[in-house]
Structure 1
Amino acid sequence: MTIDWLTLLALFLSASSNWALEIPKHNCSHFTYRQLPSGEWIGIFQAPNAGILEFDWKVLFATSVANQDRIRFLKHFPSEEENLANIQRGGRAQVFATLEESENTLPSLKTLMLNNVVLCSEYSSSKGIDFALLSWVVQQPKIRTDFEECGQEGFVATQHGGDLVTRGQYPWLAALLEGNSSITYKCVVSVISKRTVITAAHCIYGKPASQLWVYLGRHDRNQILEDGAELVGVSNVLTPLQYSGNPVPDSDVGLLVLKYPIWYTKYIQPLCLWSSDLSVPAREGETGSVAGWGFDRSGLKTRYPKAVSVRLVARDQCLIKMKKAQYFITERTVCAGNSESQGPCFGDSGAALIVLRNNRWVMRGIVSISPSRGENCDLSNYVIYCDVSQHLGWIEQNIVK
């Protein structure tokens, strides 16, 4: 028999590596380490009991290498189809995380939470933290009538100028994240139904739904796991046929259909859409508001969302002040700004321009483009918004309620 010494050596080295790998000890009965036939290591988590139909998993791993910004995603075990079928048969849900060894040891479990209940908590001296998340529902939840009304504002900070947004003040405000093994903030989105959020087309055009995530009830960008917030995957990305990827405000509107219906809570509620029975003033002139996590006056990313009041202006007034922007200003755009040179900046794309009608906030526009000055925004000029009132037919045809 001929012996392939290179193969034998490779097997020996692989086995030696596995022998040296340290499997962290833990006391969590809902978690187990498992090595797949491929040699890959995973951590499997099991729900504490059957009968759970809504899941919001949050897992913290301690690692030997500091990595404060990493978010990974749990997956159904052994597959989504088999896991859901098992749940519907009365079994307990199972999910898993892919584990990467570092310095000959696997990540150790630090905290396991399901639906904001701590199932396991382990001590660890490691400094690095990895976060793993997954949310879904097996069946549509019951309607909570307390939060059915759209455009209802929450509590407001008593600060002069009112630029700080308190949590739940604008409960339709949500963050769009992009990525797979790790995700980053991209744009602002607004909740308009239990299955749909609205944003700028340039934030989502040409991007696969599997790479997009909506963080509902989001407030503190520095806090990875935020109570009352929900991270939801996207099942469909929709932009108008007129939008071809060229960032022109005229048709810069897009919809994201969420993977499952969401619950309305004090932190997650819908914004009212413009309707055909609402009139647009002939010379504009209304005062509106815009909120988001965009750059501040110093060009720095904001930790909490900020809001600013802006005045809508007539199209001809916008053209007079911004002659170079005549290509972008059309009958399906609206301009707005204020005398203090405040307004949405980089990172606020997709945010809603809202106006108050009948004591409810209604969406009039979507942040599209603004003049720039170097690496910051030139808010001495107007910001140009996609006029939602001119896209009602397309929105109504594509919204999933």
Structure 2
Amino acid sequence: MIKMKALNIILIFLYVAVFSILNSVVASEVEMPTIACPDLFRYVIKPNETYAVVTVPSSFINGANVHLQVIVHQYDLVNQEFSLLPFKSQEETLSNILARKSVEYRFSFPSPQENPKLSKIVVNGETICFDDDYIPPYNALEGEFNIELPINNTVGDTSIEYVPPSISQLNNCFSFVIYEEENNKTFARIKIPNYYFEGGTPEVKVDFAQNKMLTSGKYALFTYKSLDETILDVMEGKPVLYRFQFPDQTEIPVIREIQVNSKPICANKNPRVGSMKLTGGHTMQLPLGYNNLNIYTDNESDDNNDKSKDNRTCGREVGALTPFISFGNEINNGQVPWLASIFQNNDENLVFICGGSLISKRIIITAAHCFQFQTLPADLTLVKLGGSNTTDDTGVLSFGVEKIIIHPEYRNDFIPDADIALLYLNSSITFTDFISPICLWNGDTDLSKLVNKIGYVAGFGSTENGTISETSPRIAYARIVSEIECVRSSNKIKSIISPRTFCAGNRDLSGPCTGDSGSGIMIRKNRHWSLRGVVSIGETFEGQCNLGEFVIYCDLAKHLDWINNHILD
């Protein structure tokens, strides 16, 4: 009997300079990676395709079962269909194994623009070749092929007559799998309820089976939506959709088993569903800090309490916020509609100062140090809302400032404990889809419940190129850490933090930077965004923000009484 277990796709996303890496890989000519074991793995270049021949030496063939695993890496995060199959026919392959001769396999690549790099070859659990990994992000494509010889060790027809299973024999798998057609081809759409992902990384493995021996073709299990949309579905507790692309349309495979996080959730107990097994695996590697999928809940109802002082539902946006960022993704219109940009207005010459957040029809909350260090009076302050910064795009509105109130306990000495300022606009705002308030924090103010949760910071500060974003704002995520972890990270931090501050960051060169002071760190609470802190202070290195260290935020939840007492009706 020959069984095939091919295809485990592990998407590894460590978000450091994604676009520059991808652009360097996809060049005008397809590069040929170096090969660690050229006697075991070689590229074959033909006019219309490139593939690899993998050789299992005779020294590893013992006349019994052969389980081959081949792992390759590629930077292409889109194309995921590939296959690892015996190079010769079933009859010839079995004959070589029985004769203890070397066996060749064909690894068909998924992307015409890139030749994957060999990472590892494993035969019967023994690694016979390995090489260094690519620098993330990359796709790790794992092909497996398992050959189990018949008990009597004779070569012949090992196929089993195919008997289609009944619906009752499929148990509950039909509640997860639907067969669909597209461009005259059949594929399977797999729907996994979100509760199966609790307590672990979303890891799905799907087994199909067919009677026909597969000698060519590609197949894959991948997410039905884009990766960003899928991660957002996971965060929000929605079902996750996958697509299983079949390699051959002469026989439609039958579902055998579905596993989530190594636990079967359905199985087909019919023993005669076919001897050719097709296995697809997909793992979403979430960023550090997605504790319990990062859905923050407390004992109070979001829907009943998340109203602004103006009786408008707060913390809602038109666009869907993309949870994954690389050095900060640009925000689309309708996303983060409470984000404000604050300027110094000198003789019609606008100078960008800080960011802020709209919390009512007339009030922007920001950092006090934006005004103390600049000695910026209200009559020279201008606020823009509506999504853009220095441009006058449609929907962007400008407001003068009537007065500025600095928290009375703020100390003008780089201490973020009460680094808060309220800006009273000179006119009330009519809320739109592009301008609306964020929710102030309500509920439990115990910061320990947010440790290792993910917050998001939007602003117009310096990009990875060191320039201020002059059009669309950008958003980055930051992991909230404990006071102990923060203090241990830097000797400078201990003297400036307090019970009314907290630290957050990834220490991977992404996050708020110069010009992002005053912007808010947002936490998603069920279906709303709530404002937990204000960007206050971070370390610098050679005059640039040092995002290899944590950023310190003023904890607004510890100042709610003062804030609410100053909000206008």
Normalising by structure 1, what TM-score? 0.60
Report if the CA contact (8 A) 1:147-1:269 is conserved: no
Corresponding residue for residue 318 of structure 2: 154
Cα distance, 1:228 vs. partner? Answer: 1.0
Report if the CA contact (8 A) 1:151-1:271 is conserved: yes
**How large is the Cα RMSD of the aligned pairs?**
2.3
Pairing partner for 1:286 from 433, 445, 453: 453
Cα distance, 1:167 vs. partner? Answer: 1.6
> Is the counterpart of residue 235 in structure 1 residue 402 in structure 2?
yes
Corresponding residue for residue 333 of structure 2: 167
Please tell me whether Structure 1 or Structure 2 has the larger radius of gyration of its CA atoms: 2
Pairing partner for 1:208 from 377, 381, 393: 377
Once the two structures are superposed, what CA deviation does each residue of 1:136-163 show, in whole Å capped at 9, x if it has no partner?
A: xxxxxxxxxx992100122137696372
Query: In structure 2, the residue corresponding to 1:318 is in which secondary structure?
Result: helix
Alignment-mate amino acid for residue 314 of structure 2 = C
Corresponding residue for residue 534 of structure 2: 366
Alignment-mate amino acid for residue 425 of structure 2 = L
Cα separation, partners in 2 of 1:394 and 1:252, compared to 1, 3 Å: same
d(CA) in 1 for partners of 2:483 and 2:539?
16
> Which deviates more, 231-240 or 336-345?
336-345
Query: In structure 2, the residue corresponding to 1:325 is in which secondary structure?
Result: coil
> Is the counterpart of residue 377 in structure 1 residue 545 in structure 2?
yes
d(CA) in 2 for partners of 1:161 and 1:311?
13
Corresponding residue for residue 266 of structure 1: 433
Identity rate, percent? 36
Report if the CA contact (8 A) 1:147-1:264 is conserved: no
Report if the CA contact (8 A) 1:171-1:266 is conserved: yes
d(CA) in 1 for partners of 2:405 and 2:567?
9
Report if the CA contact (8 A) 1:177-1:185 is conserved: yes
Unaligned runs of 5+ in 1: 1-145
Cα separation, partners in 2 of 1:255 and 1:330, compared to 1, 3 Å: same
Once the two structures are superposed, what CA deviation does each residue of 1:128-187 show, in whole Å capped at 9, x if it has no partner?
A: xxxxxxxxxxxxxxxxxx992100122137696372211220000011011231221110
Cα separation, partners in 2 of 1:279 and 1:318, compared to 1, 3 Å: closer
Give the total of aligned pairs.
Answer: 256
Normalising by structure 2, what TM-score? 0.43
Alignment-mate amino acid for residue 338 of structure 2 = W
Query: In structure 2, the residue corresponding to 1:235 is in which secondary structure?
Result: strand
> Is the counterpart of residue 333 in structure 1 residue 497 in structure 2?
no
Cα distance, 1:204 vs. partner? Answer: 2.3
Unaligned runs of 5+ in 2: 1-309
Query: In structure 1, the residue corresponding to 2:411 is in which secondary structure?
Result: coil
d(CA) in 2 for partners of 1:396 and 1:159?
30
Q: What is the correspondence of 1:1-400 to structure 2 with a 5 Å cutoff?
A: 148-156=312-320, 161=325, 163-182=329-348, 183-205=350-372, 206-217=375-386, 219-223=387-391, 225-277=392-444, 279-282=446-449, 284-303=451-470, 304-400=472-568
Report if the CA contact (8 A) 1:177-1:214 is conserved: yes
d(CA) in 1 for partners of 2:525 and 2:498?
25
Report if the CA contact (8 A) 2:507-2:547 is conserved: no
Once the two structures are superposed, what CA deviation does each residue of 1:351-389 show, in whole Å capped at 9, x if it has no partner?
A: 000101121111111001111111211101100011111
Alignment-mate amino acid for residue 378 of structure 1 = N
Report if the CA contact (8 A) 2:534-2:556 is conserved: yes
d(CA) in 1 for partners of 2:560 and 2:502?
15
Cα distance, 1:222 vs. partner? Answer: 4.6
